[in-house]
Structure 1
Protein backbone atom coordinates (compact mmCIF):
# COMPACT_ATOMS: atom_id res chain seq x y z
CA UNK A 1 0.00 0.00 0.00
CA UNK A 2 1.17 3.52 -0.69
CA UNK A 3 -0.07 7.02 -0.08
CA UNK A 4 -0.45 8.74 -3.44
CA UNK A 5 0.81 12.25 -4.05
CA UNK A 6 -1.64 14.35 -5.99
CA UNK A 7 -0.74 17.24 -8.29
CA UNK A 8 -1.67 20.76 -7.23
CA UNK A 9 -5.10 22.17 -8.04
CA UNK A 10 -5.17 23.24 -11.70
CA UNK A 11 -7.22 25.89 -13.50
CA UNK A 12 -9.29 24.38 -16.31
CA UNK A 13 -7.83 25.45 -19.68
CA UNK A 14 -9.87 27.78 -21.87
CA UNK A 15 -9.84 25.26 -24.74
CA UNK A 16 -11.85 22.82 -22.60
CA UNK A 17 -13.94 25.09 -20.37
CA UNK A 18 -16.03 28.26 -20.42
CA UNK A 19 -15.91 30.26 -17.18
CA UNK A 20 -13.91 29.51 -14.05
CA UNK A 21 -13.26 25.81 -13.48
CA UNK A 22 -10.71 24.21 -11.15
CA UNK A 23 -9.83 20.54 -10.80
CA UNK A 24 -7.82 18.21 -8.62
CA UNK A 25 -6.57 14.91 -9.96
CA UNK A 26 -7.46 12.39 -7.26
CA UNK A 27 -6.31 9.23 -9.00
CA UNK A 28 -4.69 8.25 -12.28
CA UNK A 29 -4.26 4.50 -12.40
CA UNK A 30 -1.18 2.84 -13.77
CA UNK A 31 -1.61 -0.33 -15.86
CA UNK A 32 -3.37 -2.59 -15.37
CA UNK A 33 -5.67 0.03 -13.77
CA UNK A 34 -6.87 2.71 -16.19
CA UNK A 35 -9.17 4.49 -13.74
CA UNK A 36 -9.14 8.30 -13.64
CA UNK A 37 -10.82 10.40 -10.93
CA UNK A 38 -10.89 14.21 -10.72
CA UNK A 39 -12.74 16.58 -8.42
CA UNK A 40 -13.98 19.41 -10.64
CA UNK A 41 -15.32 22.72 -9.27
CA UNK A 42 -17.40 24.96 -11.54
CA UNK A 43 -18.24 28.61 -10.80
CA UNK A 44 -21.84 29.65 -11.61
CA UNK A 45 -22.43 29.36 -15.35
CA UNK A 46 -19.09 27.62 -16.04
CA UNK A 47 -19.12 24.43 -18.10
CA UNK A 48 -17.09 22.15 -20.32
CA UNK A 49 -16.86 22.31 -24.08
CA UNK A 50 -18.46 19.46 -26.03
CA UNK A 51 -16.44 16.27 -25.55
CA UNK A 52 -16.54 12.48 -25.63
CA UNK A 53 -14.78 9.75 -23.67
CA UNK A 54 -13.60 6.63 -25.45
CA UNK A 55 -14.67 4.40 -22.55
CA UNK A 56 -17.49 6.59 -21.14
CA UNK A 57 -17.62 8.84 -18.08
CA UNK A 58 -19.48 8.89 -14.77
CA UNK A 59 -20.20 12.14 -12.91
CA UNK A 60 -21.16 12.23 -9.23
CA UNK A 61 -22.27 15.60 -7.84
CA UNK A 62 -21.06 16.45 -4.32
CA UNK A 63 -22.14 20.12 -4.04
CA UNK A 64 -24.33 22.65 -5.81
CA UNK A 65 -26.55 22.29 -8.86
CA UNK A 66 -25.27 21.22 -12.25
CA UNK A 67 -26.34 20.35 -15.76
CA UNK A 68 -25.23 17.72 -18.25
CA UNK A 69 -26.37 17.96 -21.87
CA UNK A 70 -26.14 15.82 -24.99
CA UNK A 71 -26.15 16.61 -28.72
CA UNK A 72 -29.78 15.47 -29.04
CA UNK A 73 -30.82 18.33 -26.71
CA UNK A 74 -31.36 16.29 -23.54
CA UNK A 75 -30.34 18.21 -20.40
CA UNK A 76 -30.28 16.60 -16.96
CA UNK A 77 -30.28 18.71 -13.79
CA UNK A 78 -27.90 17.26 -11.20
CA UNK A 79 -28.02 17.76 -7.42
CA UNK A 80 -25.75 16.53 -4.61
CA UNK A 81 -25.81 12.73 -4.53
CA UNK A 82 -26.86 12.39 -8.19
CA UNK A 83 -24.80 10.22 -10.52
CA UNK A 84 -24.97 10.45 -14.33
CA UNK A 85 -23.22 8.15 -16.79
CA UNK A 86 -22.39 9.09 -20.39
CA UNK A 87 -21.65 6.05 -22.57
CA UNK A 88 -18.53 5.66 -24.72
CA UNK A 89 -18.43 8.10 -27.62
CA UNK A 90 -21.44 10.22 -26.54
CA UNK A 91 -20.88 13.94 -27.15
CA UNK A 92 -21.83 15.84 -23.99
CA UNK A 93 -21.05 18.85 -21.81
CA UNK A 94 -21.49 19.50 -18.08
CA UNK A 95 -21.19 22.35 -15.63
CA UNK A 96 -22.88 24.59 -13.10
CA UNK A 97 -26.22 26.33 -13.44
CA UNK A 98 -26.13 30.10 -13.91
CA UNK A 99 -26.87 30.76 -10.23
CA UNK A 100 -25.00 28.00 -8.38
CA UNK A 101 -21.53 26.63 -7.92
CA UNK A 102 -21.21 22.89 -8.62
CA UNK A 103 -18.63 20.29 -7.68
CA UNK A 104 -18.54 16.77 -9.06
CA UNK A 105 -16.32 13.73 -9.19
CA UNK A 106 -15.45 12.89 -12.80
CA UNK A 107 -14.68 9.19 -13.18
CA UNK A 108 -13.51 7.63 -16.44
CA UNK A 109 -11.04 5.11 -17.81
CA UNK A 110 -8.02 5.44 -20.01
CA UNK A 111 -8.05 3.51 -23.25
CA UNK A 112 -4.94 1.44 -22.64
CA UNK A 113 -3.86 2.35 -26.17
CA UNK A 114 -1.55 5.36 -26.57
CA UNK A 115 -2.89 6.27 -30.04
CA UNK A 116 -6.55 6.32 -28.88
CA UNK A 117 -7.35 9.45 -26.82
CA UNK A 118 -9.24 9.05 -23.54
CA UNK A 119 -11.11 12.30 -24.19
CA UNK A 120 -11.83 14.03 -27.50
CA UNK A 121 -12.59 17.75 -27.16
CA UNK A 122 -14.87 19.66 -29.51
CA UNK A 123 -16.18 23.20 -29.82
CA UNK A 124 -17.48 25.36 -27.00
CA UNK A 125 -21.16 25.11 -26.12
CA UNK A 126 -22.96 28.21 -27.36
CA UNK A 127 -26.36 27.96 -25.67
CA UNK A 128 -26.68 26.37 -22.23
CA UNK A 129 -29.97 26.49 -20.33
Structure 2
Protein backbone atom coordinates (compact mmCIF):
# COMPACT_ATOMS: atom_id res chain seq x y z
CA UNK A 1 0.00 0.00 0.00
CA UNK A 2 1.46 3.37 -0.98
CA UNK A 3 1.29 6.33 1.35
CA UNK A 4 1.03 10.05 0.64
CA UNK A 5 4.74 10.33 1.42
CA UNK A 6 5.48 7.70 -1.27
CA UNK A 7 3.45 9.63 -3.86
CA UNK A 8 5.32 12.83 -3.06
CA UNK A 9 8.80 11.23 -3.17
CA UNK A 10 10.82 12.46 -6.14
CA UNK A 11 12.84 10.32 -8.52
CA UNK A 12 16.45 11.52 -8.34
CA UNK A 13 18.37 11.79 -11.60
CA UNK A 14 21.48 13.42 -10.10
CA UNK A 15 22.93 13.38 -6.58
CA UNK A 16 21.15 15.70 -4.15
CA UNK A 17 24.18 17.96 -3.83
CA UNK A 18 24.99 20.51 -1.15
CA UNK A 19 22.52 22.43 0.98
CA UNK A 20 22.03 25.93 -0.39
CA UNK A 21 22.79 29.02 1.65
CA UNK A 22 20.05 30.36 3.95
CA UNK A 23 21.13 33.75 2.56
CA UNK A 24 19.57 32.84 -0.83
CA UNK A 25 16.91 30.20 -0.03
CA UNK A 26 13.96 29.74 2.32
CA UNK A 27 13.71 26.11 3.43
CA UNK A 28 16.05 23.39 2.19
CA UNK A 29 17.30 23.56 -1.38
CA UNK A 30 20.20 21.43 -2.57
CA UNK A 31 22.49 22.37 -5.45
CA UNK A 32 24.67 20.16 -7.65
CA UNK A 33 26.77 21.78 -10.38
CA UNK A 34 26.88 19.64 -13.52
CA UNK A 35 28.73 21.88 -16.00
CA UNK A 36 30.95 24.72 -14.86
CA UNK A 37 31.26 27.63 -17.25
CA UNK A 38 34.59 28.07 -19.00
CA UNK A 39 35.88 30.09 -21.95
CA UNK A 40 34.67 27.50 -24.47
CA UNK A 41 31.29 26.66 -22.96
CA UNK A 42 30.14 29.91 -21.39
CA UNK A 43 27.17 28.12 -19.85
CA UNK A 44 26.53 26.89 -16.31
CA UNK A 45 24.29 23.85 -15.82
CA UNK A 46 23.17 22.32 -12.57
CA UNK A 47 20.48 20.54 -10.64
CA UNK A 48 18.52 21.99 -7.72
CA UNK A 49 16.28 19.92 -5.46
CA UNK A 50 13.80 21.94 -3.39
CA UNK A 51 12.17 20.20 -0.43
CA UNK A 52 8.44 20.95 -0.03
CA UNK A 53 7.94 24.64 0.78
CA UNK A 54 11.52 25.60 -0.14
CA UNK A 55 12.13 28.46 -2.56
CA UNK A 56 14.79 30.79 -3.88
CA UNK A 57 15.02 34.47 -3.09
CA UNK A 58 14.08 36.90 -5.81
CA UNK A 59 16.95 37.04 -8.28
CA UNK A 60 17.86 37.78 -11.90
CA UNK A 61 20.38 36.58 -14.46
CA UNK A 62 22.20 39.00 -16.82
CA UNK A 63 21.80 36.59 -19.77
CA UNK A 64 18.62 34.84 -18.60
CA UNK A 65 18.04 31.31 -17.40
CA UNK A 66 16.29 28.17 -18.63
CA UNK A 67 14.70 25.75 -16.16
CA UNK A 68 13.84 22.16 -17.07
CA UNK A 69 11.59 20.59 -14.45
CA UNK A 70 12.58 16.94 -14.01
CA UNK A 71 10.21 15.98 -11.17
CA UNK A 72 7.76 17.34 -8.64
CA UNK A 73 5.48 20.35 -8.48
CA UNK A 74 6.53 23.90 -7.83
CA UNK A 75 6.02 27.58 -8.39
CA UNK A 76 7.68 30.14 -10.62
CA UNK A 77 7.03 33.86 -10.71
CA UNK A 78 8.32 36.75 -12.79
CA UNK A 79 8.05 40.15 -11.10
CA UNK A 80 4.65 41.80 -11.68
CA UNK A 81 3.16 38.51 -12.97
CA UNK A 82 1.06 35.90 -11.16
CA UNK A 83 2.67 32.75 -9.77
CA UNK A 84 2.72 29.86 -12.24
CA UNK A 85 2.51 26.20 -11.24
CA UNK A 86 5.38 24.21 -12.77
CA UNK A 87 5.71 20.43 -12.96
CA UNK A 88 7.73 17.59 -14.45
CA UNK A 89 8.32 18.14 -18.17
CA UNK A 90 7.89 21.93 -18.11
CA UNK A 91 10.54 24.20 -19.63
CA UNK A 92 10.66 27.75 -18.26
CA UNK A 93 12.51 30.70 -19.80
CA UNK A 94 13.53 33.45 -17.41
CA UNK A 95 14.37 36.50 -19.55
CA UNK A 96 17.64 38.41 -19.04
CA UNK A 97 17.65 40.84 -16.10
CA UNK A 98 14.06 39.99 -15.08
CA UNK A 99 13.50 39.57 -11.35
CA UNK A 100 11.96 36.16 -10.53
CA UNK A 101 11.89 33.27 -8.08
CA UNK A 102 11.11 29.56 -8.14
CA UNK A 103 10.70 26.69 -5.71
CA UNK A 104 8.64 23.74 -4.53
CA UNK A 105 4.95 23.65 -3.72
CA UNK A 106 4.02 23.36 -0.02
CA UNK A 107 3.34 19.59 -0.21
CA UNK A 108 5.62 18.29 -2.97
CA UNK A 109 9.31 18.85 -3.68
CA UNK A 110 10.70 20.08 -7.00
CA UNK A 111 13.75 19.07 -9.01
CA UNK A 112 15.01 21.27 -11.79
CA UNK A 113 17.91 21.56 -14.13
CA UNK A 114 19.04 25.12 -14.68
CA UNK A 115 20.93 26.45 -17.67
CA UNK A 116 22.58 29.86 -17.44
CA UNK A 117 24.01 30.90 -20.83
CA UNK A 118 26.61 33.54 -21.66
CA UNK A 119 28.15 33.51 -18.21
CA UNK A 120 30.71 36.08 -19.33
CA UNK A 121 27.86 38.59 -18.73
CA UNK A 122 27.50 37.37 -15.13
CA UNK A 123 25.60 34.53 -13.51
CA UNK A 124 23.11 35.71 -10.87
CA UNK A 125 22.15 38.76 -8.85
CA UNK A 126 20.49 37.73 -5.57
CA UNK A 127 17.82 39.95 -4.03
CA UNK A 128 15.34 39.86 -1.14
CA UNK A 129 13.53 36.87 0.34
CA UNK A 130 10.19 35.71 -1.06
CA UNK A 131 8.05 36.14 2.04
CA UNK A 132 5.25 33.78 3.10
CA UNK A 133 2.54 36.18 1.91
CA UNK A 134 4.08 36.32 -1.59
CA UNK A 135 4.63 32.54 -1.66
CA UNK A 136 1.05 31.81 -0.55
CA UNK A 137 -0.55 34.30 -2.97
CA UNK A 138 -1.11 31.69 -5.70
CA UNK A 139 -4.60 32.00 -7.16
Greater share of helix: 2
Give 1:94 deviation, angstroms: 0.1
Partners of 1:110 and 1:94 lie apart in 2 by 21
1:99 paired to 2:107: yes
Give 1:75 deviation, angstroms: 1.3
Which residue does 1:41 correspond to in 2?
49
SS of 1:65's partner is strand
- Residues 4-43 of structure 1: pairs in structure 2 closer than 5 A: 9-43=17-51
Give 1:9 deviation, angstroms: 2.0
SS of 1:112's partner is helix
- Residues 31-110 of structure 1: pairs in structure 2 closer than 5 A: 31-110=39-118
Structure 1 length-normalised TM: 0.87
Give 1:29 deviation, angstroms: 2.7
C-alpha RMSD of the superposition: 1.4
Give 1:110 deviation, angstroms: 4.3
Which residue does 2:135 correspond to in 1?
128
Q: Which runs of 5+ in 1 are unaligned?
A: 1-7
Q: Work out whether residues 76 and 85 of structure 2, in 8 Å CA contact, stay in contact via their aligned partners in 1.
A: yes
Q: Which runs of 5+ in 2 are unaligned?
A: 1-15
Partners of 2:112 and 2:119 lie apart in 1 by 22
The number of equivalent residue pairs is: 119
Partners of 2:119 and 2:42 lie apart in 1 by 7
Give 1:118 deviation, angstroms: 1.6
Q: Structure 1: which 4+ aligned runs deviate by more than 3 Å?
A: none
